[in-house]
Amino acid sequence: MLLEAIYHKPKLNWAYSFDKKTVHLRVRTKRNDMKQVQVIHGDKYIWDQSNQTDHMTLLSQDQFFDYWHIAITPPYRRLRYAFKFTDVSNSTIVLTEEDFVEKLPDNPNTFFDFPFINPVDVFEPPSWVKDAVFYQIFPERFANGDPSINPPQVEAWGGKPTPTNFFGGDLQGVIDHLDYLQQLGITAIYFTPIFEATTNHKYDTEDYFTIDKHFGDKKVFKELIKQAHARGIKVMLDAVFNHCGKTFPPFVDALEKGEQSKYKDWFHVRSWPLQVIDNIPTYDTFAFEPKMPKLNTENDEVKAYLLDIAQYWIKEFDIDGWRLDVANEVDHQFWREFRQTVKALKPDVYILGEIWHDATAWLQGDQFDAVMNYPFTNAVLDFFANKSISAHAFKNRIGKQLANYSEQVTLSAFNLLDSHDTARLLTLANQNIKAMKQAALFQLTYPGAPCIYYGDEVGLDGGHDPDCRKCMEWDEQKQNKELLSFYQRLLKLRHTYGAFRSSQIAFLPIESDMQDHVIAYSRQDDNDSFIVIINTNENKTTASIKLETKQEFEVIWQNEAKLITATKSDSIELALDGYSFIILKQK
């Protein structure tokens, strides 16, 4: 028994209120070290009458550790607890808050303490998010619905994208294709910025209260929201509050008047005048980009201005979410006030932060509902697209991801595989459609809110920015119709069965002569239970899954794979062709 591997902290993802009556506890142990882990728990004020012992279940594993989990409903919303470990050799030890001990102490005051489930402290992301499927739209490249508002020197639709060219995509173009999105199975749109700006990407905001003139106007946007909502589609906008653009009037004023400007404290200035010396601006910016000066969100005027923007688009247009650009470079206090402000206006608005790494500090219920889940993205791409890690390594990385965050965070996470900031999925998969499908299959059967980048579903490819920002392909003769049908079927499967949207996911031990390339995982809820098996290699193989009890399954989707075991059995035997998958449903 390796005591040094055992870890628990009575906060964060280790002990938290899941809802107004339930506490989730987790503890870490060395991988495969423990035969069982128990929790001794009760109410601290009536310990003798209330204490009981329950078994924890194995939540997930990574390279080094097991993560154990239990949900407890304390009758009086208080919880005092300790852990009892039994290793594979049947040795036991107890962990209290103070130390490891050989036997359970009589005095529960030394135990861990969850003082009280205060309803106001319960982290409750919007309930609709866990069932949503997002579709990211880069407005300038999705569809040209109103040529009369095209930018000057607009280029023919479908040309090669550059950092500076325009093709005339607009909001009317999105309205014209809402039926397409609905038929695909999309229930939420994420727009990159739509506000007045000089670039094609609009991350250099000039006016936060105005729709960019080349995208349309507020009347068109209201119509878009109205028609989207009528189809059950939510709309999320991009809030670029870390920085503005070089044409933002307060920055123009500071640029012209220097220290005499009334806006001088709206920015982080190291020295005056505002200028660029040896490619380094004398003021803080996004990266070192002179045209994107960083806003001082600790300044009361800036804070009031930005919070007014956050409220305006909810009040006037009933948007359903804010995606927060470069969110980890803005101070925590601003985001706390941001959350309080928008949630007071619309409690189920979705607050999504752009953070590429561990985001625990932002996901405690006082700031964001979720972040763009790039650790998930990278793991899926490395296994299915890049082929750079084994099945074992992939399962470890996903296991660690599941353990890192609370269940609420897992269910509301924004799970993407590509975006306007990355190369496209098909290109990352080296033009291998079968590998791309498998990555999408895992994404769309995983807990959280998946996001499809516009055009992926019809075979749009592209390298890194700007190549990933190609025009959407609307010519059906040039679309990959088979891939589109695959996405439609996959989304229908996700919407039909709650099991694919639940938090209950577990990798299953599977025997194959290609262990590095084959995975199996279960997905279940109170109504249904499924097993998904995927062979990511180009070669055929057979595989076997040992079950704890005799079960019978039916095939609901097979792609170059075959279920050999047809009757009730305690094992599943499979024949898997190259790049195949099969989805089984328990009868």
Q: Which residues are tagged catalytic?
A: 325, 354
The backbone region for 258, taken as left when phi is positive above 0, alpha when psi lies in -120 to 50, beta otherwise, is left
Q: Residue 374: count other Cβ atoms within 10 Å of its Cβ.
A: 20
Spatial separation of the C-alpha atoms in residues 393 and 131, rounded to whole Å: 28
- Eight-class DSSP state of 470: P
Q: Which residue, among 53, 55, 111, 50, has the nearest Cα to 75 in the 3D structure?
A: 50
Could you give the C-alpha distances from 540 to 436, 533, 537, in angstroms and in order? 18, 14, 8
Evaluated on CA atoms 223, 229, 231, 235, the torsion sign reads: positive
Q: Which residue, among 487, 490, 485, 480, has the nearest Cα to 458 in the 3D structure?
A: 480
3-state class (DSSP) for residue 543: strand
Backbone dihedral angles phi then psi of residue 188, each to the nearest 5 degrees = -155, 140
Per-residue exposure over 115-126, b if at least 16 CB sit within 10 Å of its own CB, e if not: eebeeeebbbbb
Q: Which residue, among 236, 167, 240, has the nearest Cα to 202 in the 3D structure?
A: 240
β strands within 201-262, DSSP E: 205-211, 234-239
- Eight-class DSSP state of 315: H
Q: Which residue, among 188, 215, 189, has the nearest Cα to 201 in the 3D structure?
A: 215
DSSP 553-587: EEEEEEEEEEE---SSEEEEEEEEEEEEEEEEEE-
Q: Which residue, among 358, 336, 346, 349, has the nearest Cα to 409 in the 3D structure?
A: 358
Which residue is it, tokens 């505002």?
274
**In one letter, which amino acid is 359?**
A
Q: Which residue, among 133, 44, 115, has the nearest Cα to 452 in the 3D structure?
A: 133
Q: How many residues does the chain have?
A: 587
Could you give the C-alpha distances from 395 to 261, 380, 417, 580, in angstroms and in order? 55, 10, 17, 18
**In one letter, which amino acid is 580?**
S
Task: Describe the crossing of helices 300-317 and 332-345 by its angle, rounded to 10 degrees.
Answer: 30
Spatial separation of the C-alpha atoms in residues 397 and 387, rounded to whole Å: 14
Query: Is the distance from CB of 389 to CB of 380 less than 8 angstroms?
Result: no
Q: Which residue, among 554, 506, 500, 547, has the nearest Cα to 527 in the 3D structure?
A: 500
DSSP 458-469: GT----STTGGG
Query: Is the distance from CB of 151 to CB of 139 less than 8 angstroms?
Result: no
Spatial separation of the C-alpha atoms in residues 241 and 243, rounded to whole Å: 5
